[in-house]
Amino acid sequence: MQMEDFYESNLLAKWLRIILSPLMALYCILVNLFFGFKHYQTKRKGVPPISNDLLFISATDAVEKLAKRELRSLDLVNAYIDRIEEVNKTIVAAVNVDYEAARDQARQCDKFLDQIADNDEQLVKLLKEKPLYGVPITIKECIKIKGFKCTAGIKCRKDSVSEVNATVVERVLQAGAIIIASTNVPEMCARLESINNVYGQTRNPYDYARTAGGSSGGEGSLIGAGGSLFGIGSDFAGSIRLPSFFNGIFGLKPTGGVVPLDGHIPKISTIRQQMLCIGPMSRYAKDLSLLLHVIADPEHTGKMNLTSTVDLTQIKVFYMEKLVTPLCEDVHDVSLKSVHKVIKNLATSFDVAAHRLDLPLAHFAWEMFYACADLGTRPFLSEYMVDCKGDVNLYNELLKAPFGKSDHSTAIILLGILEKQSVLRKKDQSTLSLYRDRLKRELSELLSKNGVLIFPSFPCPIPFHGQMTLKSLNAAYACLWNVLGLPVVQCPLGLDFDGLPTGVQIIGAPYNERLIVEVAKHLEQRFGGWAAPK
């Protein structure tokens, strides 16, 4: 049974899809024209250039330099604190900081390293037990850090301070990392723009007029601006990869279930947890494996073989140019060019053929996402709005919002209303879940141990503020991989002619993070990876 058969059995969905096709095309044209006209004469302005060379050292190299006493932890921490202070007033990315605690921890790291500087045995033991020793890190605000606020952008949680650490936070601390800040998110982490009524709106470090994305937008913006060495985000519908793309950095959505989710706010249902992942974000590809090895459950690190070498001469390369769906706009030339230059490079570098794919079921990404995310069931967004301590009257909030009397944004209120309008029958959900399983099986077998799929990061250039909200369905390019639970690296490819980040997604079979990170490292060497804002 193919997806077309599903639409034959659900005539309402079929006719909605037919009607939507021309309407969505016209809608996207009008939205693009409006924002293009609005910003036609707006001069691009971003964060000031990085002046401290310490901010160009990768986390992996920083650990080595610290161990050799070629670098001091306090100097590195101070360099990042200074950069946060320099850029954060404009990008609003870091929302909670504890500079003095970070400095104290850095001094302790330096003191201990001074004491064992001549003892190779102790150094080896230290780095094995604490692979992040002395390096600063930032973490998405919705992940609990003891002593830090954890609001998830929800107004009623504005004074909520965590009494415990999430498991991933505990693991990075045990590994020796120093937390210097937590970073902004959308309200309830439910939008692809990082804006809320607690902290405000996060901006893109390359162009203040453009979005930093969401829901890990604060993390992406701060790392992209050079205000963080690396960090931890979470991804339910592209929430690591879209901010990573928009802010020109690397982001890894691991295989589903690899990293524990406890301590993540809001807490979601068991079914939805199958699609939510916590993962690393960084400016350098090699730091992805370093951080993932620390935060992943031990039983999964063995499956991923993160520390073993990869022979890229044995790679198999596949690519897909776009999704054919009326629910999002057609892919732009800039996205196609990114895919084509990557497959051309891989084919040339490793003397392999790149195989173009057309996966029919992939074009129904949103339908599968809707079914598999169990949308339209409790807990509803209206319950999350009050921290699951009741239920909000969304229509009352919608009337109050234009007058600034609501604690919630209009976009979130409308999303909450739409969420309760279920359009799928239980039978439809079951059918779509079967299609998801079939597509995952097909791709897992195709990619196997040495195959990668190159896929567009997003169908259009980085949206302006507000534009992303009006074209949220473009996230189909990212949410498809949450549905399938496959590991994905968002890989930056430098800047385009407008000075904005470009990139592609690299998809692998389950537990094949090692291969896709290695491909990202190769592309970083070839195309430059993260490029500092100018």
Q: What is the set of active-site residues?
A: 140, 215, 239
**CB environment 71-94: b (16+ within 10 A), e (fewer):** bbbbebbbbbbebbebbbeebbbb
Q: What is the dihedral of CA 417, 421, 426, 427, to 10 degrees?
A: -140
| Residue given tokens 């295989």 in the structure block | 255
Three-state DSSP at 192 gives coil
| Dist. CA 257–CA 275, nearest whole Å | 9
Amino acid identity, position 120: D
Residue 4 burial (10 A CB sphere; 0-12, 13-18, 19+): exposed
List, in sequence order, every residue forming a beta bridge with 45; answer none if it has no partner. none
Q: What is the dihedral of CA 305, 306, 309, 310, to 10 degrees?
A: 90
C-alpha distances in angstroms, 360 versus 323, 365, 435, 438? 9, 10, 10, 11
| Dist. CA 508–CA 491, nearest whole Å | 13
Q: Report whether 39 contacts 467 (CB < 8 A).
A: no
| Dist. CA 187–CA 9, nearest whole Å | 37
Q: Report the helix count and the strand count for the chain, using DSSP H and E.
A: 21, 15
| Dist. CA 449–CA 515, nearest whole Å | 8
Q: What are phi and psi of 322, to 5 degrees?
A: -170, 165
Angle made by CA atoms 452, 454, 455, in degrees to the nearest 5: 135
In 422-508, DSSP assigns E strands to 451-456, 488-495, 501-507
| Dist. CA 271–CA 405, nearest whole Å | 34
| Dist. CA 522–CA 96, nearest whole Å | 35
| Dist. CA 531–CA 50, nearest whole Å | 11
User: Among 337, 302, 342, 307, which residue's Cα sits nearest to residue 322?
Assistant: 337
**Helix axis angle, 73-91 relative to 99-115, nearest 10°?**
160
| Dist. CA 534–CA 532, nearest whole Å | 6
| Dist. CA 253–CA 77, nearest whole Å | 27
User: Among 496, 80, 505, 92, which residue's Cα sits nearest to residue 320?
Assistant: 505
